[in-house]
Amino acid sequence: MKQGNLIKTLFSLGMLTRQLEEPGTGLPSKERLRALAGFQQRALCHALTFPSLQRLVYSTCSLCQEENEDVVQEALQQSSGTFRLAPVIPSWPHRGLNTFPGAEHCLRASPETTLTGGFFIAVLERVEVPSSVSQTEVSAPELRSSPSPALKKKRRRRNAAAAPSMLLCTKQEGN
């Protein structure tokens, strides 16, 4: 069997994800889960420091609260009210675990109820306009689409005086 086919087969059976799991439990080991959640927490909090960031989609292929709601809740607390959760597909019936106010804006999909491998999605959006981005840029994007007159390139006029080498070549050919 080719390696690509084996990986495809294992992935479709859900075997690839089980490499992280504690044998016999179907869950990642506590150490592995703590390490993953810590990494995700640092990455998410770092991303929320980008001054021009307006929205961020946080998504995992995990159903563990420690990697999902707990990471999002901690990131929101560390952002000190700069970000909030935005609703994700309001018609989706499976929401985030009710572990903190606003968690209902998150989306969950479990293999048992959605015929997927399982995943989690949260959308974090900025509450205020960052100081480095002007209000005009955020509220009027159509103004940014037309180039400023100061930024337009100047066209050069082309005439005989601008191309002396061509005139010189013509003279030399006639000799």
pLDDT of residue 34: 94
The bridge status of strand 83-86 relative to strand 55-60 is unpaired
Residues 128, 84 contacting (CB under 8 angstroms) = no
If you search the block for the tokens 């968690």, which residue do you land on?
103
For residue 27, give every residue at least 6 positions away whose Cβ sits within 8 Å of its Cβ, in sequence order, or none: 21, 33, 64
Q: Which whole-number Å values give the CA distances from 52 to 49, 125, 128, in the listed order?
A: 9, 11, 11
- pLDDT value for 87: 93
Structure tokens of 76? 């929101």
Q: How far is 148 from 125, CA to CA, in rounded Å?
A: 30
For residues 98 and 108, give the distance between their C-alpha atoms in angstroms, rounded to a whole number: 12
Residue 169 annotated to the active site: no
Considering just the CA atoms, what is the radius of gyration of the chain in Å? Answer: 28
Which residue matches tokens 């601008």?
162
**Catalytic residue (choose from 61, 64, 106, 169):** 61
Nearest to 111 by CA among 120, 102, 103: 120
Residue tagged 């960052």 (tokens):
130
Q: Compute the distance between CA of residue 32 and CA of residue 43 in angstroms, rounded to an integer.
A: 17
What is the pLDDT at residue 172? 38
What single letter denotes the amino acid at residue 73?
A: Q
What are the structural domains, with CATH classification, of the chain? Answer: 3-126 (3.40.50.150)
**Residue 3: what pLDDT?**
42
Q: What is the mean pLDDT of each run of 10 residues along the chain (175 residues)?
A: 42 44 65 94 96 96 95 96 94 93 94 90 86 50 45 56 38 41
Q: Which run of H or of E encompasses 136?
A: helix 135-139
How far is the C-alpha of 63 from the C-alpha of 110, rounded, in Å? 7
